[in-house]
Structure 1
Amino acid sequence: MTDRADVPAEVLRELRRICAGLPESREEAAWVGTRWRIRNRTFLHVFTAHPGQDGAYSRAAELTEPTVVMTFRARPEELDALLGAGEPFFRAAWGHDVAGLKVLPGVDWAEVGELLTESYRVLAPAKLARLVG
C-alpha cells in the first residue's frame, strides 16, 4: 500500500506550474502531503487518502480506493456550485469555506488552475490578490 502522503509526480508538476504564477506563494511539506501557502495561510493541500484510514477525508470524499485529494478555499456561492456539481467535488471535513476535489484521471487542469487562483485570492492580501488575472 502506498503511504497516504504520496502524490504522483505528474500531479505535483501540474500544481507547481499553476502555483508558480501566484505571487509570493510557496510550497512546503504539510503534516501529510504537500501544501501551498500565501504568507501563513494555506490555499491548497494535496495528498493521497485511503478509505478507512483518513477518517474525515475518506468519509467526506466517500473513498473506495486510494485517491489523490486536494482541498482549497472557495467563496460561498462557488462552494455551493461545486458541491451541487457532485463528483469529483466534495465538502471538506473542516472549514466553512473549504472544498475538496478528487484528482481523478482526466482532471481538467485549466479548471483546477481557475479554482486555485480563486482560492489564492480568498486568502491573499488585497495588494497581491489584485496581481493575479
Structure 2
Amino acid sequence: MCLGLPGVYEEPAWVGVRWRVRGRTFAHACTVGSDNPTSHARVFATDGPVCVVTFRAPADEVGGLIGSGFPFYWPGWGVNVVGMVLNAQTDWSEVAELLVDSYCVQAPKKLARLVDRPSGH
C-alpha cells in the first residue's frame, strides 16, 4: 500500500522496514519481542512477538488515537507519532487510511495533493 503513494521508497530500518518520501519516514513496521531493546518493547508486557507499525498523525488526531487505547499507543518519541499493534483483528482499511494520512503529514504539499483521501481528512 505504501509503495503506491507518489515518491515513496522502502528501506531497511534499524529494526524492521520503513517507508519514506523525500527522506522523511511516514511508516515503520517491525516485530517487537519481549527481548527487543527498542522503545516499543517498553509498551508491551508480552512473552511473544508483537507486530507494530508507527506512523505520523495530524496533530489534532494524535490524542484521540492514543487515548482510545489498544491497539494504539505512544511509542515514546515524537509529538505526532502513533504506534499501532497489528494482529488478527486489525482493520486493514483503517490502517490504509492512517498511512495515507501519515504520508500527507510528511510529504511535500505538492505530492500530498496527488493523493485521494476520504472526505473529512
Same fold (TM over 0.5): yes
2:103 alignment partner, SS class: helix
Match of 2:26 in 1: 43
Q: How does 1:16-95 map to 2 (within 5 A)?
A: 18-60=1-43, 62-64=44-46, 65-95=48-78
Structure 2: which amino acid aligns with 1:104?
A: N
Conserved? CA contact 2:71–2:84, under 8 Å: yes
Conserved? CA contact 1:121–1:129, under 8 Å: yes
* Unmatched runs of 5 consecutive residues or more in structure 2: 117-121
Conserved? CA contact 2:27–2:53, under 8 Å: yes
1:93 alignment partner, SS class: coil
**Distance of 1:55 and 1:31 partners within structure 2:** 10
* Unmatched runs of 5 consecutive residues or more in structure 1: 1-17
Aligned-pair identity in percent equals 48
TM-score between the two structures when normalised by the length of structure 1: 0.81
Given the superposition, is the C-alpha separation of residues 31 and 55 from structure 1 closer, same or farther in structure 2, using an over 3 Å criterion? closer
**Distance of 2:38 and 2:12 partners within structure 1:** 20
Q: Report how far residue 85 of structure 1 moved.
A: 1.2
Give the stretch that moved more between structures: 77-86 or 33-42.
77-86
**Distance of 1:55 and 1:121 partners within structure 2:** 26
1:20 alignment partner, SS class: helix
Match of 1:6 in 2: none
**Distance of 1:48 and 1:63 partners within structure 2:** 14
Conserved? CA contact 1:51–1:63, under 8 Å: yes
Given the superposition, is the C-alpha separation of residues 84 and 130 from structure 1 closer, same or farther in structure 2, using an over 3 Å criterion? same
Conserved? CA contact 1:73–1:122, under 8 Å: yes
- Alignment root-mean-square deviation, CA: 1.2
**May I ask how many residue pairs the two structures share in their alignment?**
115
TM-score between the two structures when normalised by the length of structure 2: 0.89
2:102 alignment partner, SS class: helix
**Distance of 1:23 and 1:111 partners within structure 2:** 20
Structure 2: which amino acid aligns with 1:76?
A: A
Structure 2: which amino acid aligns with 1:106?
A: Q
